[in-house]
Amino acid sequence: MSKKNQLSNQSLKIPKGIIVTAVFLQSISSKLATLFAAKLFTTPIKFKAPKREWHMDEKSIQSKLFINSINKRIHIYQYGSGEKKVILVHGWSGRGTQLVKIADALVDNGYMIISFDAPAHGKSPTKSSLMPEFIASIHEIDKTFGPFEFAIGHSLGGMSIVNAVKQGFKIKKGVIIGSGDIIQDIIDDFIKKINLKQKIGLMMKEYFEKKFNEPMENYATSNAALHVKTPFLIIHDENDEDVPLKAAINIHKKLLESKLIITSGLGHRKILGDKSIIDNIVKFIKE
């Protein structure tokens, strides 16, 4: 199998039945297609944790934490016993043990890990979520388990960390891996994957902005970065099938202090277990 096909297989696949439904609704009504797409956009897929994550699940001290601002509970993992704490934030349709290889390396270097299943992910209840709920979870975890020295996030988790820092979450350094950036770009990519017309993406963004009474681009990582002074390490693969490299480059330009590492052949998820990347993360944190 070619490298490109291997990387394509890492990307989250949308079931054919959902795509057929979306296209059918679009043929009837743009509004119906928009509502269907919006519901799908906020509903993560829960995947079983692979065997490589089992030991983190077994060795963690686990608990539930209520997030009052969103009226939801999340599942917490406390891993390791070091004095200095690092929060790990998974991406969309991920889980709190997904960054296990990074967690193991940090525990070996004397850090304590706090990670969590975001609302509607992993062992956390409910069926829907959005980035503001990831951010609210970070703030509540900080109040309960903080202070944190460092924060590491993958994909949507990276976006959430930068936005949380903008909102007052204090850390010494941050690491974001495969992070998205512009919200409309993310929506457009999602709409393309379910074979809908671009106008549905514009309507969906308008729907969310009316629902939450806030411009969605307030959460674009590069926009949040303009208000962030915390040093960040940005890691992104040039072959990332889920998030284009331009997102990392744009974020890098907007952050006051950041270092960008561009990899090749690791895609969106394999990058989380790469030894060289993990060594770079530990080095950045310990510098």
Each residue's pLDDT tens digit, 55-102: 999 999 999 999 999 999 999 999 999 999 999 999 999 999 999 999
What is the pLDDT of the chain when averaged over all its residues?
A: 94
**What pLDDT is recorded for position 7?**
40
For domain 53-181+220-287, the CATH architecture is: 3-Layer(aba) Sandwich (3.40)
Rounded to 10 deg, the angle between the 30-41 and 198-212 helix axes is 70
Burial (CB count <10 Å: 0-12, 13-18, 19+), residue 99: buried
Packing angle of the helix pair 156-166, 131-145 (nearest 10 deg): 60
Output the six-digit token pair for 173. Answer: 């350094």
Say yes or no to pLDDT of 9 above 80: no
pLDDT in tens, 21-36: 999 999 999 999 999 9
* Calpha distance 205→264 (Å, rounded): 32
Q: How far is CA 243 from each of CA 11, 143, 246, rounded to the nearest angstrom?
A: 10, 31, 8
Give the start-to-end residue ranges of the domains of the chain: 1-41+183-217, 53-181+220-287
